[in-house]
Structure 1
Amino acid sequence: MNASSLESEVRSYSRNWPVVFDRARGSRLHDRDGRAHLDFFAGAGALNYGHNHPVLKRALLDYLERDGVTHSLDMLTAAKEDFLTEFGARVLAPRRLDYRVQFPGPTGTNSVEAALKLARKVTGRQTVVAFTGAFHGMSLGSLAVTGNASKRAGAGVPLGHTWRLPYDGFAGGQVSGLKLLDSMLADRSSGLDLPAAVIVETVQGEGGVNPAGPAWLADLAELCDRRGILLVVDDVQMGCGRTGPFFSFEVAGITPDIVCLSKSLSGYGLPMALTLFRTELDVWQPGEHNGTFRGNNPAFVTAAAALREFWADSALEKQTEVRGALFDERLGELAERYAAHVSAHRGRGLAWGLAFRDAPVARRVADAAFARGLLVETSGSEDEVVKLLPPLTAGDDELAEGLDLLGEAVAATVGG
């Protein structure tokens, strides 16, 4: 029996890239036929440090070879202790963040579910404010605060207890979601009860690579603080250095009440997630929220190694910011050259999108890129955006090569 015939119709990426991948190193995936593919997808942001980084791989192999504990639920292990020590010293302390660390389960949606549940428990309130274009995961609580209609439709049940606001720049910036929220909370006849929390991505990835402005984020944080609403930042895709700083919200100078992390947290593509929250919000009872795979020790090992390797100083952050300027320039040139077809380019750090006026064109450009050996995905409400997430560790020559290949794909698709 053919192996692919056994897999559910729910599969997606294998349809876009119909090859069998066999090995990977750095910024390249190699298929079974020996062809190399430059990876500007990076596991949808789960491989910020590339494939099989040698330092992380060595740490993992050493741990496994000495029979280190692999599964432990939330028992104390040397691997967990090492990770927490490194995370506290290299991430929390330098940023003066007084956060407790919860291991909610291995994926981003687990982190979001824990955040929503905790916010409701702390405040005693039910409603959560979310934004147009948001994506927070595929489990029911996360879907309730997700904006995409097709993903929400898969829930099969009503998704409630959410109030939706326009994100920064929605409808050309003609509608201010923050002013609307503040005005309705000020009016006792508005019908809007005080929400438990606001959940936001500082850069919407699946929503089409939409960056919120630092001033908008600062205004949101101020509004939440003034009204007594918990602010949750979903940094699952844009955290761990994707936009430059370790946390994507640092650019706005804000301190969220709760932060969701996953994807590149392990540094090696191993499942791992955290929910961070201010110490005074730690009102959980033992075992009140848990998950069988919340103690992924191999992920602790590679995550600790990644913190030592990449976050001992600000070199990676500065490099990513410089490269972000390069992407802005190169994609801006593409957008100008093909203005009849490209509506915008946008992004921050090494998360970028090229938006097309006719949505199907984006898919054709991504297919043309794949034919040339470049992996990119699409995002946005109509999949109208070609999304670029190269490894932060890619070489300058690899980034230039990928941008050249993308330019060729656009030219081949729209002509000229």
Structure 2
Amino acid sequence: MRPNTAMPTDHPTSSSMEASSTSVFDDIESQVRSYCRNWPATFTTASGSTIQAEDGRSYLDFFAGAGALNYGHNHPVLLDALVDYLRSGGIVHALDMHTAPKREFLTTFRDRILRPRDLDYKVMFPGPTGTNSVESALKLARKVTGRQHILSFTNAFHGMTLGALSVTGNSMKRNGAGLPLTNSSKIPYDDYFSGATEDFLWLERVLGDSGSGVDKPAAIIVESVQGEGGLSAARPEWLRALSELCRAHGILLILDDVQAGCGRTGEFFSFEESGIVPDIVCLSKSISGFGLSMALTLIRPELDQWEPGEHNGTFRGQNTSFVTATAALNQFWADDEFAAGVRARAAELHAGLAQIASGYDGAVVKGRGFLTGIKFAEPSAASKIAAAAYERGLLVETSGPEDEVLKTMPALTISSDELVSGIDIIAAASAEVLGAPVYRGEGSDVRGSDVLDGDPRGEESK
């Protein structure tokens, strides 16, 4: 969500206490802050899908910490595990040393996630955030193949450090690098040409032509759903074709599941529906389950060619994150019951958004699972609707190169009643910004399961 970049202005209030409690943010904090410009409340406590502000107002959360809170705020099972561990005097920081919490996490991740999906990966702890995982994946791909170039996709987002920025498409974020971002090229994401041309035709031709002058890349990095790029979702058959292309030419396939992973699309990994097995997988955000910093890089065993210490980070051994991650895996991923519930509620979300979209010309539902939104015909509409929703007590952001998509990302644990409340707020905010919806009889029929069972890119809702 692109923030309101106007310089802060002092607004006198009836409460000097309120003024003093917010002035320090303007006085001391860097101008780079963003979310607080759109949501200026001072937040204090949170539980589940509700956040409480200092002034007593409650907000329904359709943001979930940008996908870092898939199980909601302060889930009691995870909270108890964390508090018990801290009170026990357990070690908190341990770099990559052996600890009991790390052993328990690795054992649980293997038994709950990898083995049931017949996935054989080594687990690397690259550092605390998603961009650390991406950096390690790019470095390893270059080391293993001996090649430098990386291919990524239009409208991709992979992180804010220089290597991750080099494979990111967003021009505003790339401009922040302050220097040329090299050794990467962008290729069209699924449906970039609206079906007008075969997406991989050019790439297949040049990779097979020794006279093309195009160097074979070390890797191709892709998101199954472009969380920051406008909620474009790749079709399973497109991902399979990409995987086959990589294997045919000896190119490593990196799947960035930082935002779409950990259940957000209805399966633990967003690529499960396609049946592909990436060479490298990047995870972060909700892998700790509690909003604590943690990232993983999953590597096919034969690619694990690091020298000891060749990639490291001081905060790659946060044992509190291991504790909550293990609790989350045991609580939610011991069987398929939780994932089935996520898929059912995601269908409810899609149906509600599709009903809203059907009332406005050119509005389209995009995304998959609980990473779903509405693209409106007028690019500025989404930001205005998000602002109007905030005034009604809902936190919802925007996505896309022009912030043209209203992006909903609730906690996977949200109740049906909370989901309906949020959808109702979006409907009211849309009517405030765009006027009353106009439904056109049978043409506005909604098929709520399409986002999971049909074309995962969503459909025009009319």
Q: TM-score range by the shorter chain?
A: over 0.9
| Corresponding position of 1:349 | 369
| Corresponding position of 1:367 | 387
Moved over 4 A (4+): none
Shift of 1:75: 0.5
1:350, 1:389 within 8 Å by CA — same for their partners in 2? Answer: yes
Shift of 1:175: 3.6
Aligned counterparts of 1:179 and 1:353: Cα–Cα separation in 2: 30
| Corresponding position of 2:41 | 19
Secondary structure in structure 1 of the residue aligned to 2:157: coil
1:378, 1:385 within 8 Å by CA — same for their partners in 2? Answer: yes
Q: Does 1:64 align with 2:86?
A: yes
| Corresponding position of 1:183 | 205
1:30 to 52, 72, 83: 52
The amino acid that maps onto 2:24 is: A
The amino acid that maps onto 1:3 is: V
Moved more, 185-194 or 79-88: 185-194
Map Cα deviations across residues 116-141 of structure 1 (whole Å, 9 max, x no partner).
00000000001111000100000000
> Which residues in structure 2 correspond to 1:245-264 (within 5 Å)?
245-264=267-286
Shift of 1:177: 3.0
Secondary structure in structure 1 of the residue aligned to 2:363: strand
Shift of 1:261: 0.1
Shift of 1:64: 0.1
The amino acid that maps onto 1:347 is: G
Map Cα deviations across residues 200-233 of structure 1 (whole Å, 9 max, x no partner).
0000000011110000001111111111100000
Shift of 1:42: 0.2
2:220, 2:254 within 8 Å by CA — same for their partners in 1? Answer: yes
| Corresponding position of 1:169 | 191
1:9 to 31, 39, 52: 31
| Corresponding position of 2:160 | 138
1:38, 1:375 within 8 Å by CA — same for their partners in 2? Answer: yes
1:166, 1:175 within 8 Å by CA — same for their partners in 2? Answer: no
2:62 to 40, 55, 59: 40
2:59, 2:393 within 8 Å by CA — same for their partners in 1? Answer: yes
| Corresponding position of 2:458 | none
Q: Does 1:221 align with 2:243?
A: yes
Map Cα deviations across residues 281-330 of structure 1 (whole Å, 9 max, x no partner).
01000000000000011000000000000000101211121222222222
| Corresponding position of 2:77 | 55
| Corresponding position of 2:289 | 267
| Corresponding position of 2:112 | 90
Secondary structure in structure 2 of the residue aligned to 1:211: coil
The amino acid that maps onto 1:297 is: N
Map Cα deviations across residues 22-66 of structure 1 (whole Å, 9 max, x no partner).
000000110001111000000000000000000000000000001
| Corresponding position of 1:233 | 255
1:128, 1:196 within 8 Å by CA — same for their partners in 2? Answer: yes
| Corresponding position of 2:426 | 406
Secondary structure in structure 2 of the residue aligned to 1:222: helix
| Corresponding position of 1:384 | 404
Superposition RMSD on alpha carbons, in Å?
Answer: 0.9
Map Cα deviations across residues 59-108 of structure 1 (whole Å, 9 max, x no partner).
00000001111101001111111100100000011111110000000000
2:191, 2:199 within 8 Å by CA — same for their partners in 1? Answer: no
Shift of 1:181: 1.0
| Structure 1 gap segments, 5+ residues each | none
Shift of 1:191: 1.6
| Structure 2 gap segments, 5+ residues each | 1-19, 437-462
Q: Does 1:326 align with 2:348?
A: yes
1:104, 1:273 within 8 Å by CA — same for their partners in 2? Answer: yes
Aligned counterparts of 1:82 and 1:70: Cα–Cα separation in 2: 15
Aligned counterparts of 2:56 and 2:320: Cα–Cα separation in 1: 29
1:135, 1:147 within 8 Å by CA — same for their partners in 2? Answer: yes
Aligned counterparts of 1:198 and 1:372: Cα–Cα separation in 2: 42
Q: Does 1:129 align with 2:151?
A: yes
Moved more, 343-352 or 64-73: 343-352
Identical positions, percent: 58
2:359 to 310, 315, 337: 337
| Corresponding position of 2:319 | 297
Map Cα deviations across residues 369-416 of structure 1 (whole Å, 9 max, x no partner).
001100000110111111000000001100111111111110111111
| Corresponding position of 2:6 | none
Aligned counterparts of 2:323 and 2:56: Cα–Cα separation in 1: 31
| Corresponding position of 2:448 | none
Shift of 1:168: 0.3
Which structure has the larger Rg?
A: 2
1:415 to 415, 418, 435: 435
TM-score calculated relative to the size of structure 1: 0.98
1:114 to 120, 129, 136: 136
The amino acid that maps onto 1:246 is: F
Shift of 1:361: 1.4
After superposition, the Cα gap between the structure-2 partners of 1:25 and 1:239, relative to the gap in structure 1 and judged at 3 Å, is same
Aligned counterparts of 2:218 and 2:164: Cα–Cα separation in 1: 15
The amino acid that maps onto 1:306 is: A
Aligned counterparts of 1:137 and 1:357: Cα–Cα separation in 2: 28
Q: Does 1:393 align with 2:443?
A: no
1:131, 1:200 within 8 Å by CA — same for their partners in 2? Answer: yes
Secondary structure in structure 2 of the residue aligned to 1:177: coil
1:166, 1:176 within 8 Å by CA — same for their partners in 2? Answer: no
Aligned counterparts of 2:360 and 2:201: Cα–Cα separation in 1: 36
Secondary structure in structure 2 of the residue aligned to 1:87: helix
Moved more, 21-30 or 347-356: 347-356
Alignment length (residue pairs): 414
Aligned counterparts of 1:176 and 1:300: Cα–Cα separation in 2: 44
1:77 to 95, 99, 105: 99
Secondary structure in structure 2 of the residue aligned to 1:147: coil
Shift of 1:174: 2.1
Secondary structure in structure 2 of the residue aligned to 1:217: helix
